[in-house]
């Protein structure tokens, strides 16, 4: 609900709200929350905020300088559907103790990106993320000194055709055979409808939901375009709703890009364009696939900076289990109309003056959406500023499956990083486009790289993998 602080106080009184829940994101992209009884909510809450220890949030302050405060964004309040007592949920921003915006806080990065856009380019940037995820009936894992394993299960999965289910009625999807599958094999239809109902009640229209390719209850929910900050807010809120609805039904939703070997991976394809409020500035009926030169330059920026972008858009070690050939995965840096193996695809089913757009396909939902969407915008704007021609740079368009190309031609196509380490190296070497307008800072980029190396890539590299025992234990 887009309310002022005065309207929120009135709403709280009239609706009998008992608790007010303040949600805040860490650098990596997880929400944290603190809750106050409604008796403690006042006008000063929206100006003075609530004190926190930011050193306990991943990626932020050191212990010696952890005192900061969160101030609610009054334009983000919604009734929280998961509180037993009537609860109002509000997304917050982080400020230094002296009241200045915290430069590492991801929502503040979005605001600076939107301000830079306004200062350098006409129009408004609009984004539509597609959320793909798996819904499992069971998920277990451990990684200890003497053992490591994971186990997932879904009643829909092909591996359960012979399971004793008292009775087993069949209706299992075959491997990679779930796309747009229907009940009774699609067991999560009603669950997704509940998710969508709550998402729409939270103020976010939903385009559709459906079963995805993965047989083990892989699904998708997509929302229409919104401004940069609000689209990123929508991703955070959708993940919160999706996870909690699944939990209430004794299931678990995971946004891991590749939780199941040999099954389809889960991405977060991001549709994007610039609009003047009436028409898409990406539209030109005489251009390639209905795109304007502005759109092509934007694509040039996305592809030129693609390797560095992946450090923010595909930021988990598991992301690169998805980004491998053979699963409609966008592993090559090129653009094309309707080609789902391209890093940048032009959706041809909806090319018109109002919504002509491009789709960046490498991202997944392990990203921090505030940083990922901001980084994509900055790359696109850099392409516009420097008039980067994607065709002249060797980025296509290529209308055929890369696997069907002659080997010599395929060898000339640039590829995306094959690991998080490679993506972080690319970000180290190529991030000046992110620093324009003070949108990102060297401090934030260094903190991101340091966290990812120390907490993710190094620890994973040091651990034996179960498959290594299959390969080497008897040598």
Half-sphere exposure of 175 (CA within 13 A, CB side): 6
User: What three-state secondary structure class fits 139?
Assistant: strand
Which residues does residue 344 pair with via DSSP β-bridges, in sequence order? 335, 360
State residue 422's pLDDT score. 98
Catalytic, 7? Answer no
User: Which position among 80, 93, 114, 130 bears the catalytic label?
Assistant: 130
From residue 300, how far is each of 54, 333, 390 by CA, in Å?
A: 38, 10, 4
Among residues 299, 279, 284, the alpha carbon closest in space to that of 390 is found at 299
State residue 406's pLDDT score.
74
For the structural domain made of 120-472, what CATH number should be given? 3.30.590.10
Q: Is 132 a catalytic residue?
A: yes
Tell me how far the alpha carbon of residue 119 is from its chain's centroid. 26
Q: Where are the domains of the chain?
A: 5-102, 120-472
Would you call 359 a catalytic residue per the annotation?
Answer: yes
Q: Which of 269, 305, 322, 357 is catalytic?
A: 269
Q: What is the pLDDT of residue 474?
A: 94
* Arch. (CATH architecture) of 5-102: Roll (3.10)
Active-site pick, 212, 233, 364, 456: 212
- Which residue among the candidates 6, 53, 201, 454 is catalytic per the annotation? 53
Among 271, 355, 357, 361, the active-site one is: 361
Q: Which of 342, 247, 243 is nearest to 289 (CA)?
A: 342
Determine the Cα–Cα distance for residues 444 and 112; give it in Å rounded to an integer: 13
Q: Is 340 a residue of the active site? A: yes
CB 129 within 8 A of CB 369: yes
Q: Per the structure block, which two tokens stand in for 52?
A: 């926190």
Is residue 14 part of the annotated active site? The answer reads: no
Predicted local distance difference test score (pLDDT) of residue 67: 84
Whether 220 is catalytic: yes
Q: In sequence order, which ranges of 280-431 are alpha helices (DSSP H)?
A: 293-304, 306-313, 319-322, 369-385, 407-411, 420-429
* Catalytic, out of 359, 382, 421, 456: 359
Q: Walk along the chain (475 residues) and give the pLDDT tens digit of each residue.
A: 677 888 999 999 999 999 999 999 999 999 999 999 999 999 999 999 999 988 889 999 776 567 889 999 999 999 999 999 999 999 999 999 888 999 999 999 999 999 999 999 999 999 999 999 999 999 999 999 999 999 999 999 999 999 988 888 889 999 999 999 999 999 999 999 999 999 999 999 999 999 999 999 999 999 999 999 999 999 999 999 999 999 999 999 999 999 999 999 999 999 999 999 889 999 999 999 999 999 999 999 999 999 999 999 999 999 999 998 766 788 899 999 977 789 999 988 777 888 899 999 999 999 999 999 999 999 999 999 999 999 999 998 987 777 677 777 777 888 999 999 999 999 999 999 999 999 999 999 999 999 999 999 999 999 999 999 999 999 9
345 noted as active-site residue: no
The whole-angstrom distance between residue 198's C-alpha and the CA centroid of its chain comes to: 19
Q: Which of 220, 263, 284, 382 is catalytic?
A: 220
Look at residue 399 in the predicted model and tell me its pLDDT: 78
Residue 118: which residues within 8 A CB-CB, separation 6 or more?
Answer: none
Determine contact, residues 68/38, Cβ cutoff 8 Å: no
- Catalytic, 165? Answer no
Helix axis angle for 369-385 and 106-120, nearest 10°, is 20
> What are the Cα distances from residue 391, in Å, to 270, 281, 334?
22, 20, 9
From 13, 340, 428, 461, the catalytic residue? 340
- Per the annotation, the verdict on 84 as an active-site residue is no
């Amino acid at each position: 609900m887009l309310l002022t602080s005065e309207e929120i106080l009135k709403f709280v009184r009239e609706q009998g709200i008992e608790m007010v829940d303040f949600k805040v994101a860490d650098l990596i992209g997880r929400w944290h929350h603190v809750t106050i009884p409604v008796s403690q909510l006042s006008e000063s809450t929206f100006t003075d905020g609530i004190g926190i220890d930011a050193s306990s949030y991943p990626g932020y302050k050191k212990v010696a300088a952890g005192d900061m405060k969160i101030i609610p964004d009054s334009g983000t309040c919604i009734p929280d559907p998961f509180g037993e007592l009537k609860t109002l949920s509000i997304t917050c921003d982080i400020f230094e103790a002296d009241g200045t915006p915290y430069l590492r806080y991801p929502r503040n990065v979005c605001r600076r990106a939107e301000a830079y856009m306004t200062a350098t380019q006409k129009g408004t940037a609009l984004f539509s993320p597609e959320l793909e995820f798996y819904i499992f009936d069971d998920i277990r894992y451990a990684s200890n000194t003497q053992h490591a394993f994971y186990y997932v299960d879904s009643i829909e999965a092909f591996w359960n055709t012979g399971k004793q289910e008292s009775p087993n009625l069949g209706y299992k999807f075959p491997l990679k055979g779930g796309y747009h599958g229907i009940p009774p094999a699609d067991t999560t239809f009603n669950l997704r409808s509940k998710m969508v109902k709550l998402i729409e009640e939270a103020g976010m229209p939903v385009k559709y939901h459906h079963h995805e390719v993965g047989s083990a209850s892989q699904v998708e929910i997509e929302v229409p375009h919104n401004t940069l900050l609000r689209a990123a807010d929508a991703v955070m809120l959708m993940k919160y709703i999706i996870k909690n609805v699944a939990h209430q039904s004794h299931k678990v939703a995971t946004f891991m890009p590749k939780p199941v070997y040999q099954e389809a991976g889960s991405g977060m394809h991001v549709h994007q364009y610039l609009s003047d409020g009436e028409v898409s500035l990406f539209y030109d009926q005489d251009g390639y696939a209905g795109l304007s030169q502005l759109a092509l330059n934007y694509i040039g920026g996305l592809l030129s900076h693609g390797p560095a972008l992946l450090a923010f858009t595909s930021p988990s070690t598991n992301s690169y289990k998805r980004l491998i050939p053979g699963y409609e995965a966008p592993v090559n840096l090129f653009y094309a109309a309707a080609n789902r193996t391209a890093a940048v695809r032009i959706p041809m089913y909806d090319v018109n003056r109002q919504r002509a757009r491009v789709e960046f396909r490498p991202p997944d939902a392990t990203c921090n959406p505030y940083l990922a969407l901001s980084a994509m915008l900055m790359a696109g704007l850099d392409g516009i500023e420097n008039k980067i021609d994607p065709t002249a740079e060797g980025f296509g368009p290529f209308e055929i499956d890369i696997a069907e190309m002659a080997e010599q031609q395929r060898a000339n196509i640039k590829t995306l990083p094959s690991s998080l380490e490679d993506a972080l190296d690319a970000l180290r070497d190529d991030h000046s486009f992110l620093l324009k307008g003070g949108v990102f800072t060297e401090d934030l980029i260094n903190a991101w790289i340091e966290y990812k190396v120390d907490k993710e890539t190094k620890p994973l590299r040091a651990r034996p993998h179960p498959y290594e025992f299959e390969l080497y234990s008897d040598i």
